[in-house]
């Protein structure tokens, strides 16, 4: 693109118009079809902490019926961060795995790093700068933390797409990572988990081309955490219909309309996974068979990793997808909005995905802990100087 | 005391309207009133300006949506100012009491055209706040203060009843199964799906023996009716439905103060008076709307209303006689369990359903054939207020 810009200056106005339109059409819109943004994922990586706590263990402490929660949420266990793990360390681990899958990308060639999270260790002091430093991307880059509940990182992928496709940077990295907070005894406690995923966006050697993206946003008070509050609060069942389903379903339908695609055009679909029931129901509402969703459904074994949720699900699909297959991903962030993506897997996937551990590795790598240990690891004991 | 002490004239219902019940996050309190009142006015073939008095039942607009002064709000939003508009409250019997007040206003000869309604918007607050608001319907000093909740109180009733009359867990579940079956055919019902005994008895335990599917939901909704003197009803409609009796009785607020917790004395008292005023007996009733806030409540209601002897209601459910087509169809709109329980609206919603049944306007599959008389029982709290209304063609 920089080459094109330089050329334009030496052309007549008519020629400039012609060229601008030619490239505009090529880059941004093709009649009635899929976008050709010419950008895609060049590397991806995930990280999930080793500790797990079972739903039954939490239910035992509160005197809840474990079957109600296990079956109601479709979740067996959730990941728990270790005492020295936080969003920054999870983001770094995921970023390193993403770089392993993109050996052609020198870290200092990454022009933008964004970390989307609800649990940045600092209210003021960017996680993104820590990650950039740790992976050797500093100092010539832009970096920022983003916040949009659980979809902060998919919004950042869109920002990277803009910066890359415009030629402003060569590579951008978006990371979604969380050590999700939940008030003890709240229904959220059964699912709020820890984990993250990193995606490198670029133009060459892409493993999945991003064909199209569409977003859907409205001001909806379904789930929130005010500044200074320790735990998020939510509006119970209101988080369902007017929150998750309104946005996930309409955003996905919007994407399909924009891209001229129908449910049967997709080989896999990933939706934000606050529990196992919501994404499956959303798929049914959209008309996508459940066996296209289940391969990316990781929530039963790791819980809801908030900003990492849909992106770890996407990684689980990239771990198994074949070249030429099309993947749908729709994130959801309370407050509320969704970002929907259509991805086309390329030949490059075969050689690259072997370069870092798959999602399955992290799901299987686990050690169970009891509730007291969980409280220790989450630093929730009062009066203890950790 | 003999009733009625004095009645100047009979009362007829000439128009009915109900909103869709459920989680109505798309509508505010006032919009729900509109959704019920406008169809009622249109059904009656009158104009808003013809209405001389508005009475709405509403349990707790203050705790649910921060809105008191609900009477004036409704008159304002419906464009009825300066018509007198009053909100009445008797917990979950607020709607029934609104009907009672409207009935008095017309029967006494003071008013000719009265709109009575009920309304509640409960899902704008989290369920713990809604539970707290509902707790206000019990004896706050002697029950709520010590941690009682309504599922807890009705669970005590259920435990005692099951112990005394050997009611099985499965039979109790049949109440919910039947109400869901009826609700599945009612487009205004909160839950429009069928359920099964297995599903009910394996749903999460709330207060032993009551499970989630024994309990009615928290709903948003509104219902409205237009009352006129019986002798003027034919001027408005060819299908008036007459209020044969509308009675209210009260009882001890706290459950533990009652001699017998498996009978609601207020139901017995109000229904006995209602039958006498209407000059009818339980065998004349073709369709019943009973206040099934919990499955056990419907079982007890059928006994207290005199349809069967104490301890025998279970058999009606085992034999399927409470379904449409059975000997005693109960809660043909799905009741509170499937139809929804927007507390202030319920007493009116029940009678709206009876009017539909008597006019023959219920949806296919849930229309009782040739219903002539219907009875509604609307309970406040655990039975401290009960309104019984008998309507006939």
Q: What distance in Å separates residue A236's CA from the closest CA in chain B?
A: 6
β-pair partners for B53: B114
Q: What is the DSSP letter of B60?
A: -
Whether residues B123 and A237 touch (CB distance < 8 A) is answered with: yes
Q: Where are the domains of chain A?
A: 40-377
Helix (H) or strand (E) holding B16: strand B11-18
B163, burial (CB in 10 Å: exposed 0-12, middle 13-18, buried 19+): exposed
Q: Are B295 and B173 in contact (CB under 8 A)?
A: yes
Q: What angle do CA A203, A204, A210 make, to 5 degrees?
A: 45
Whether residues B127 and A241 touch (CB distance < 8 A) is answered with: no
Q: What is the fold, at CATH topology level, of the domain defined by B149-215+243-392?
A: Peroxisomal Thiolase; Chain A, domain 1 (3.40.47)
Model pLDDT, residue A38: 86
Q: Are A78 and A187 in contact (CB under 8 A)?
A: no
Which chain B residues are within 8 Å of A242, Cβ to Cβ? 25
Which chain A residues are within 8 Å of B25, Cβ to Cβ? 238, 241-242
- Length of chain A measured in residues: 386
Residue B311 phi, psi (nearest 5)? 90, -5
Residue B282 phi, psi (nearest 5)? -55, -30
Interface membership of A241 toward B (CB under 8 Å): yes
Whether residues A241 and B23 touch (CB distance < 8 A) is answered with: yes
Interface membership of A65 toward B (CB under 8 Å): yes
Distances (CA, A) of B50 to B41, B102, B110: 10, 15, 15
Query: Looking at residues B13-29, what average pLDDT do you find?
Result: 97
Nearest residue in chain A measured CA to CA from B218: A237
Q: Which two tokens stand for residue B290?
A: 């009973």
Among the partner residues A65, A68, A242, nearest to B25 by beta-carbon distance: A242
For an interface test with A, give the residue of B27, B125, B126, B218 to mutate (most A CBs within 10 A): B126
Q: Are A110 and A141 in contact (CB under 8 A)?
A: yes
Of B40, B43, B106, B105, give the one whose Cα is nearest residue B74. B40
Model pLDDT, residue A6: 44
Among the partner residues B126, B204, B205, nearest to A236 by beta-carbon distance: B126
Query: Looking at residues B216-243, what average pLDDT do you find?
Result: 97
d(CA A152, CA A158): 10
High-pLDDT (> 90) share of chain B, %: 97
Q: What distance in Å separates residue B363's CA from the closest CA in chain A?
A: 27
Count of CB contacts below 8 A, A vs B?
A: 16
* Chain B: residues touching A (Cβ < 8 Å): 23, 25, 123, 126-127, 204-205
Which chain B residues are within 8 Å of A241, Cβ to Cβ? 23, 25
For an interface test with B, give the residue of A236, A239, A242 to mutate (most B CBs within 10 A): A236
* ipTM tops 0.90: no
Average pLDDT, chain B: 96
Interface membership of A238 toward B (CB under 8 Å): yes
d(CA B175, CA B318): 10
Nearest residue in chain A measured CA to CA from B127: A236
Q: Look-up: residue for tokens 């104009």?
A: B47
d(CA B337, CA B355): 20
Among the partner residues A236, A241, A242, nearest to B127 by beta-carbon distance: A236
> What burial letters (b/e) apply to B64-77, b meaning 16+ CB within 10 Å?
bbebeebbbbbbeb
CA dihedral B257, B261, B264, B265 (to 10 degrees): -50
Among the partner residues A65, A236, A242, nearest to B205 by beta-carbon distance: A65
Q: Look-up: residue for tokens 């969380």?
A: A178
Distances (CA, A) of A50 to A70, A78, B340: 21, 10, 46
Nearest residue in chain B measured CA to CA from A223: B126
Which position among A118, A189, A209, A211 bears the catalytic label? A118
Q: Which two tokens stand for residue A257?
A: 């309309």
Among the partner residues B25, B204, B205, nearest to A238 by beta-carbon distance: B25
Number of H helices, E strands in chain A: 14, 14
Strand blocks (E) in B23-113: 53-57, 85-88
Q: How far does CA A32 lie from the centroid of its chain?
A: 28
Which chain A residues are within 8 Å of B205, Cβ to Cβ? 65
Mean per-residue pLDDT pooled into runs of 10, chain A (386 residues): 44 50 45 63 98 98 92 96 97 98 97 97 96 98 97 98 96 98 94 98 97 97 92 91 96 97 97 97 98 98 97 98 98 97 97 97 98 96 86
- Concerning whether A272 is annotated as a catalytic residue, the answer is yes
Nearest residue in chain B measured CA to CA from A66: B204
Which position among B180, B182, B291, B341 bears the catalytic label? B341
Nearest residue in chain B measured CA to CA from A68: B204
d(CA A180, CA A121): 11
Helix (H) or strand (E) holding A45: strand A40-47
> Is the domain A40-377 a CATH 1.10.10.10 member?
no
CATH code given to domain B11-126+219-236: 3.40.47.10
Q: What distance in Å separates residue A200's CA from the closest CA in chain B?
A: 40
Q: Which two tokens stand for residue A338?
A: 């969704």
User: For B147-156, how does the pLDDT look when each residue is reduced to its tens digit (9 = 90+)?
Assistant: 999 999 999 9
For residue B126, name the pLDDT band (cuts at 50, 70, 90): confident
Interface membership of A265 toward B (CB under 8 Å): no
User: For B257-270, how does the pLDDT look when each residue is reduced to its tens digit (9 = 90+)?
Assistant: 999 999 999 999 99
Interface membership of A125 toward B (CB under 8 Å): no
Q: Are A43 and A101 in contact (CB under 8 A)?
A: yes
Model pLDDT, residue A385: 81
Q: Are B347 and B319 in contact (CB under 8 A)?
A: no
Which chain A residues are within 8 Å of B23, Cβ to Cβ? 237-238, 241
SS (H, E, C) B290-354: CCCCEHHHHHHHHHHCCCCCCCCHHHHHHCCCCCCCCCCCECCCCHHHHHCCCCCCHHHHHHHHH
Q: Going by DSSP bridges, is the β-strand pair B53-57/B85-88 parallel, antiparallel, or unpaired?
A: parallel
d(CA B184, CA B264): 29
Q: Are B217 and B342 in contact (CB under 8 A)?
A: no
Lowest-pLDDT range of A258-272, B122-136, B240-254, B287-301: B122-136
d(CA B244, CA A181): 59
For residue B353, name the pLDDT band (cuts at 50, 70, 90): very high
Q: Which two tokens stand for residue A381?
A: 């004991």
Q: Look-up: residue for tokens 């990277």?
A: A160
Interface membership of A264 toward B (CB under 8 Å): no
Query: Looking at residues B48-58, what average pLDDT do you find?
Result: 97
β-pair partners for A77: A54
Whether residues B123 and A238 touch (CB distance < 8 A) is answered with: yes
């Amino acid at each position: 693109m920089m080459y094109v810009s330089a050329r334009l200056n030496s052309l007549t106005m008519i020629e400039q118009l012609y060229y601008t339109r030619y490239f505009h059409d090529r880059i941004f819109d093709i009649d009635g079809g899929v976008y050709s943004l010419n950008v895609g994922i060049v590397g991806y990586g995930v990280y999930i902490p080793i500790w797990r706590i079972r739903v039954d263990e939490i239910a035992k402490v509160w005197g809840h019926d474990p079957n109600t929660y296990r079956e109601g949420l479709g979740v067996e266990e959730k990941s728990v961060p270790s005492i020295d793990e936080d969003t920054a360390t999870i983001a770094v681990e995921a970023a390193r795995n993403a770089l392993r899958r993109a050996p052609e990308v020198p870290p200092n060639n990454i022009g933008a790093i964004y970390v989307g999270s609800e649990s940045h260790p600092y209210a003021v002091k960017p996680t993104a700068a820590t990650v950039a430093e740790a992976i050797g991307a500093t100092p010539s880059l832009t970096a920022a933390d983003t916040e949009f509940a659980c979809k902060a990182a998919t919004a950042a992928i869109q920002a990277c797409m803009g910066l890359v496709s415009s030629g402003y940077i060569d590579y951008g990295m978006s990371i979604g990572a969380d050590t999700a907070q939940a008030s003890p005894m709240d229904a959220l406690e059964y699912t709020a988990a820890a984990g993250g995923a990193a995606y490198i966006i670029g133009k060459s050697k892409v493993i999945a081309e991003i064909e199209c993206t569409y977003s859907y946003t409205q001001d909806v008070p379904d789930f929130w955490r005010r500044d200074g509050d320790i735990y998020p609060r939510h509006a119970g069942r209101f988080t369902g219909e007017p929150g998750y389903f309104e946005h996930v379903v309409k955003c996905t339908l919007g994407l399909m309309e924009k891209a001229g695609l129908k449910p049967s055009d997709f080989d896999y679909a990933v939706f934000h996974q606050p529990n196992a029931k919501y994404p499956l129901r959303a798929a049914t509402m959209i008309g996508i068979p459940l066996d296209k969703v289940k391969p990316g459904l990781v929530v039963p074994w790791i819980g809801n990793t908030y900003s990492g949720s849909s992106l770890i699900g996407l990684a689980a699909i990239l771990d198994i997808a074949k070249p030429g297959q099309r993947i749908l991903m729709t994130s959801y962030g309370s407050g509320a909005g969704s970002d929907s993506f259509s991805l086309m897997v390329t030949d490059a996937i075969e050689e690259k995905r072997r370069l870092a551990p798959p999602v399955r590795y992290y799901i299987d790598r686990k050690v169970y802990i009891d509730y007291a240990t969980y409280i220790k690891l989450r630093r929730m004991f009062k009066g203890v100087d950790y | 005391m003999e009733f009625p002490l004095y009645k100047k004239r009979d009362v007829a219902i000439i128009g009915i309207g109900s909103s869709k019940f459920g989680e109505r996050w798309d509508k505010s309190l006032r919009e729900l009133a509109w959704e019920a009142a406008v169809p009622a006015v249109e059904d009656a073939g009158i104009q808003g300006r013809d209405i001389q008095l508005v009475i709405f039942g509403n349990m707790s607009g203050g705790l649910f949506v921060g809105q008191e002064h609900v009477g004036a709000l409704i008159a304002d939003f419906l464009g009825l100012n300066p018509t007198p508009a009053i909100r009445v409250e008797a917990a979950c019997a607020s709607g029934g009491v609104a009907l009672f007040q409207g009935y008095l206003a017309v029967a006494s000869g003071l008013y000719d055209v009265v709109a009575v309604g009920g309304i509640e918007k409960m899902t704008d607050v989290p369920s713990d706040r809604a539970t707290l608001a509902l707790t206000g319907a019990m004896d706050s000093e002697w029950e709520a203060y010590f941690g009682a909740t309504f599922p807890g109180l009705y669970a005590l009733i259920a435990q005692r009843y099951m112990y005394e009359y050997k009611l099985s867990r499965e039979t109790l579940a049949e109440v919910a199964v039947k109400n869901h079956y009826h609700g599945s055919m009612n487009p205004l019902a909160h839950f429009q799906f069928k359920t099964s005994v297995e599903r009910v008895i394996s749903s999460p335990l709330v207060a032993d023996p009551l499970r989630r599917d024994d309990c009615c939901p928290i709903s948003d909704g509104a219902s409205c009716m237009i009352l006129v003197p019986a002798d003027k009803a034919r001027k408005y409609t060819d299908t008036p439905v007459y209020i044969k009796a509308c009675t209210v009785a009260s009882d001890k607020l706290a459950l533990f103060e009652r001699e017998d917790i498996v009978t609601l004395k207020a139901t017995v008292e109000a229904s006995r008076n209602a039958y006498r005023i209407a000059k009818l007996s339980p065998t004349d009733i073709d369709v019943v709307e009973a206040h099934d806030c919990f499955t056990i409540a419907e079982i007890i209601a059928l006994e207290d209303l005199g349809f069967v002897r104490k301890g025998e209601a279970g058999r009606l459910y085992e034999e399927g006689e409470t379904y449409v087509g059975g000997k005693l169809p109960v809660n043909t709109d799905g009741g509170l369990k499937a139809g929804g329980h927007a507390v202030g609206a319920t007493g009116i919603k029940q009678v709206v359903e009876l009017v539909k049944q008597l006019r023959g306007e219920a949806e296919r599959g849930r229309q009782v054939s040739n219903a002539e008389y219907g009875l509604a029982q609307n309970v406040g709290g655990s039975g401290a207020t009960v309104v019984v209304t008998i309507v006939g063609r």
